[in-house]
C-alpha cells in the first residue's frame, strides 16, 4: 500500500501512462467500446437510466440480452442446435460445472497441456475420481490426437484450446470421432473462425478477449444439456439456463435469474465492434498478422527466444524471454514501461519469462511499438 500521507501525484508522476496494455487478463478492450460504454453507463439510449439500473425483465434490457446472443451467434456462425449461455462466474466455475453436467454414468478424458487444463482436470478428479482419465504431455507441446486413448463410455474429451500461461494453442479442433469435445477458450474465443460443429461445448470467460470479468459465454450442443448429476446445484445446471421457449426464442436463454447485465451489454458492444472490423475473418487476419510479426522478430534475433515452436504457438499469448542470463527481467520490464507498455511480465511459474498478450483489441501499432522497444533494448546491451 502506498503511504497515504503523500499526494497522489507523488506516485503517478513516476509512472509513464499506459499506451499499450499487454495484460493476460483482465485485459484491454477496444477504446471505441469503452467510450460507447461510458455514455450508456449514465443514460442508456435516452432512457434516463444506466444499463446497470435496469430490471433484467424490462423491455430495454431484453433488447440488449437478445441482441448480445444474436450477435454472438452471428459473429461465430453458431448452428441452431447450439445454446449460447451467458453465465455468471469465471471460467473456473465451469471446471466444476462441466463434469457435473456432462459426465453422466461415464468417463472423460482430460488432456493436460498447461496450467489451465491441469486446474480443470484436478477439479474434475476431485469430484469424480477414477472416472476422469488424465493424459499429460511435456510442457510446451501438444499430443497427437491418434495417441490419445479413448476409454469405453467416454462422455467427453476436455482440452484447453489456448493455454494462456504457456502460450500453446491447438491449431485446429482435435476431433475424437463422435466423442464430444469440450474446449476452454477463455483466452482465444472470438479470436478466429471456428467450426462449431466439431465441438460439444466451448466456453470462455469474458475478461481476456471480449468483455469485463464476471461473464462466461458457453456454447453447448443441445443434446448435451439435460443429463446433469442429481447433486448438481441448480445454478450450475445448464438446463436451468435454457429458455422455456427454446428453440423458438434462441436468444432468450440465461434469464433464469439475474444475469451479469452490465457485462452482457459490454460484450454486445464488443460483438458489434468485431462486426465492424470485418467480422470474425477480419479479426482473425489482424490477429495472425500481429502474432506473425512478433514471432518473426523473436526468431530473427539471437537476443530473444520463445518457449513454444511451430504451429502450436499461441496467436494470443506470446511467451518469450531474453537469452542472456546476465540481463535482469526487471530492467526489461522497466524499459517497456518507460515506453508506455505495461503488464509484460510472464507467469510466475515460468522463471524469467515475459508474455505479450495480443488479444483482439491490441492494435498493430502496439505490437510494432513492442518490437521497436525489444530492438532498442537489444542494441543497448
Ligand atoms: C483465465 C483463464 C481461466 C480462469 O478464468 P477465471 O475467470 O479467472 O476463472 C481459465 N482458463 C483459461 C484458459 C484462462 O485463460
- Is the pLDDT assigned to residue 332 strictly greater than 50? yes
**pLDDT tens digits, one per residue of 147-175:** 999 999 999 999 999 999 999 999 999 99
Could you confirm whether 208 is annotated as catalytic?
yes
The CATH number of domain 279-380, selected from 1.10.3720.10, 3.40.640.10, 3.40.80.10, 3.90.1150.10 = 3.90.1150.10
CA–CA distance from 359 to each of 24, 52, 109, 192 (Å)?
Answer: 9, 26, 29, 11
Nearest CA owner, ligand 1 atom 1: 186
Q: What would the grid cell of residue 328 be?
A: 535482469
Region 299-311: mean pLDDT is 97
Is the pLDDT at 285 greater than 70? The verdict is yes
For the segment 225-236, the average pLDDT, to the nearest whole number, is 96
Same topology, domains 34-276 and 279-380? Answer is no
Q: Is 273 a catalytic residue?
A: no
Task: Quote the percentage of the chain above a pLDDT of 70.
Answer: 96
pLDDT computed for residue 249 by the predictor? 95
Q: Which of 164, 77, 211, 212 is nearest to 358 (CA)?
A: 164
Task: Please state the domain extents for the chain.
Answer: 34-276, 279-380
| Separation of CA 316 and ligand 1 centre (Å) | 14
Catalytic residue among 155, 161, 170, 184: 184
Q: What is the pLDDT of residues 97-125, one digit of tens each?
A: 999 999 999 999 999 999 999 999 999 99
Mean pLDDT of the chain: 95
Domain 34-276, what fold? 3.40.640
Given the residues 208, 265, 290, 304, the one annotated as active site: 208
Burial 1-36 (b: 16+ CB within 10 A, else e): eeeeeeeeeeeeeeeeeeebbbbbbebbbbeebeeb
- pLDDT average, residue stretch 69-74: 98
Q: 10: Cβ–Cβ under 8 A, 6 or more apart, which residues? A: none
State the distance from the centre of ligand 1 to the C-alpha of 345, rounded, in angstroms. 17
1, pLDDT greater than 70: no
Residue 17: its pLDDT value, please? 78
Amino acid at each position: 500500500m502506498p503511504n497515504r500521507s503523500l499526494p497522489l501525484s507523488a506516485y503517478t508522476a513516476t509512472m509513464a501512462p499506459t499506451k499499450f496494455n499487454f495484460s493476460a487478463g483482465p485485459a484491454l478492450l477496444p477504446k471505441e467500446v469503452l467510450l460507447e460504454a461510458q455514455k450508456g453507463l449514465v443514460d442508456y439510449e435516452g432512457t434516463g437510466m444506466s444499463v446497470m439500473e435496469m430490471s433484467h425483465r424490462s423491455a430495454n434490457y431484453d433488447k440488449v440480452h437478445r441482441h448480445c446472443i444474436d450477435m454472438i451467434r452471428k459473429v461465430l456462425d453458431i448452428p441452431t442446435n447450439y445454446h449460447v449461455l451467458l453465465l455468471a462466474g469465471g471460467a473456473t466455475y465451469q471446471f466444476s460445472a462441466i463434469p457435473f453436467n456432462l459426465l453422466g454414468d461415464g468417463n472423460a478424458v482430460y488432456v493436460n497441456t498447461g496450467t489451465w487444463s491441469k486446474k480443470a482436470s484436478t477439479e474434475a478428479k476431485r469430484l469424480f475420481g477414477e472416472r476422469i482419465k488424465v493424459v499429460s504431455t511435456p510442457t510446451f507441446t501438444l499430443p497427437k490426437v491418434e495417441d490419445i486413448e479413448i476409454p469405453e463410455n467416454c462422455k467427453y474429451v476436455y482440452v484447453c484450446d489456448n493455454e494462456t500461461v504457456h502460450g500453446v494453442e491447438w491449431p485446429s479442433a482435435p476431433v475424437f470421432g463422435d466423442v464430444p469435445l469440450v474446449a476452454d477458450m477463455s483466452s482465444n474465443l472470438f479470436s478466429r473462425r471456428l467450426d462449431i460443429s466439431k465441438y460439444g461445448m466451448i466456453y470462455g470467460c469474458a475478461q481476456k478477449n471480449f468483455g469485463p470479468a464476471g461473464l462466461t459465454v458457453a456454447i453447448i450442443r443441445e443434446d448435451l444439456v439435460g443429463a446433469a448429476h442429481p447433486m448438481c446445484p441448480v445454478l450450475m445446471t445448464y438446463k436451468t439456463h435454457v429458455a422455456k421457449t427454446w428453440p423458438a426464442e434462441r436468444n432468450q436463454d440465461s434469464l433464469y435469474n439475474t444475469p451479469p447485465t452490465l457485462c452482457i451489454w459490454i460484450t454486445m458492444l464488443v460483438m458489434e465492434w468485431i462486426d465492424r472490423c470485418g467480422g470474425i475473418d477480419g479479426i482473425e487476419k489482424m490477429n495472425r498478422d500481429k502474432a506473425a510479426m512478433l514471432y518473426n522478430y523473436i526468431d530473427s534475433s539471437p537476443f530473444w527466444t520463445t518457449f513454444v515452436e511451430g504451429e502450436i504457438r499461441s496467436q494470443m499469448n506470446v511467451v518469450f524471454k531474453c537469452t542472456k542470463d546476465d540481463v535482469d527481467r526487471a530492467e526489461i520490464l522497466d524499459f517497456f514501461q518507460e515506453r508506455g507498455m505495461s503488464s509484460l511480465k510472464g507467469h510466475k511459474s515460468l522463471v524469467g519469462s515475459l508474455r505479450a498478450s495480443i488479444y483482439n483489441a491490441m492494435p498493430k501499432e502496439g505490437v510494432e511499438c513492442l518490437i521497436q522497444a525489444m530492438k532498442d533494448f537489444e542494441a543497448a546491451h
